[in-house]
Amino acid sequence: MNLADLNKVAQAMVAPGKGILAADESSGTIKKRFDAIGVDSNPDSRRDYREMLFRSKDAMSKYISGVILYDETIWQEAKDGTPLVKLIEQAGAIPGIKVDEGTQALPNCPGELITVGLDKLAERLKKYYERGARFAKWRAVIDIGPGIPSYTAVRTNAHALARYAALCQAAQIVPIVEPEVLMDGDHDIDRCYEVTEFVLKETFQELYYQKVALEGMILKPNMAVSGKKSAKQAGVEEVAEKTVRLLKNCVPSAVPGIAFLSGGQSDEEATAHLDAMNRIGGLPWKLTFSYGRALQSAPQKAWSGRSKNIAAGQQAFTHRARMNSLASKGEWKSDLETKKAA
């Protein structure tokens, strides 16, 4: 492991004003997104959509530091025969790869899941590196509900995250460590804070046990937010204050940066929360975005599977990327105000 090179990549992933595009939706997930806009999901349509994003010159060169790809996508070529990973590199961004293989039920823990994919991961990482990937992602899913999460679920998922991260660094690939506490329940923000603190502390304990070099990784956590079904929804300032306090209590300063997941927040909510956190200032790590839906929902609708709408799709993607770039510097006001200022 060359830690200096890993750190160089990690720092580039959280470069000022830039964030990560999570374009790693599974075939099942992107089918649901395409169904919503009336587009048939097949290898060609998925390729065309992602090629549209990667050829968005302003968005990719100015606001996007890296792109997380799905296994299908990393091997695909654009219509002109250029590998999609090359399009990303040509835009000045770093190709990455989602390496977990989804979730399955955790034995003896009803309603809880474990992420799988460690078997033969070392061999897969070698092939991904040869293809151009310089970072990877593994997502652990922690749900909040009556009696859950259990210690078993939290520790088992934290252990798997740490094993994955160690294997990545051995393959000279920067691991994005993603322990996601879901926002699907009726819990309030304080319950989310409590569970996320538990999850992060266990995760960093396991990373220590697996001898993962913190300088060569990126953390991708959820924010401290109210559950979607909660009667009391926390405001932007409360989310920012509690998320920053949570991170200060749990995340060592050696970690180069934190790239948040949007986790089902609306486009503007995810941007507003990121902006408010960066306005607090005085943080030991860079705070940026690693959004999927919050960057892609608008361009998907604008594109709608039609070649005549490529420019409109790219424009929508560039706008959302720019808004989040501003938020990563604490310079966003609102979409409307920012548009007027421009």
Taking the mean position of all CA atoms in its chain, how far away is CA 264? 12
Among this protein's residues, is 178 annotated catalytic? yes
Q: How many CB atoms lie within 10 A of CB 256?
A: 24
- Is the backbone peptide bond immediately before 175 cis, with ω within 30 degrees of 0? no
Catalytic residue chosen out of the listed positions 18, 137, 220, 242: 220
Active site (annotated) includes residue 123 = no
Pairing assessment for the beta strands 218-219 and 19-23 based on DSSP bridges? unpaired
Q: What is the DSSP letter of 41?
A: -
- Closest to 291 measured CA to CA, from 317, 254, 330: 317
Q: How far is CA 26 from CA 43, 90, 180, in A?
A: 12, 25, 17
**Alpha-carbon separation of residue 41 from 19, 31, 48, 313, 329 (angstroms):** 27, 5, 11, 17, 36
Distance CA 111, CA 117 (A): 20
Which residues are bridge partners to 94 per DSSP? 66
Q: Which residue has the tokens 């408010």?
A: 276
SS3 (DSSP) at 40: coil
Catalytic residue among 25, 112, 178, 206: 178
Coil, strand or helix at 106: coil
Helix axes 189-209, 151-170, angle to 10 degrees: 50
Tell me the catalytic residues.
Answer: 178, 220
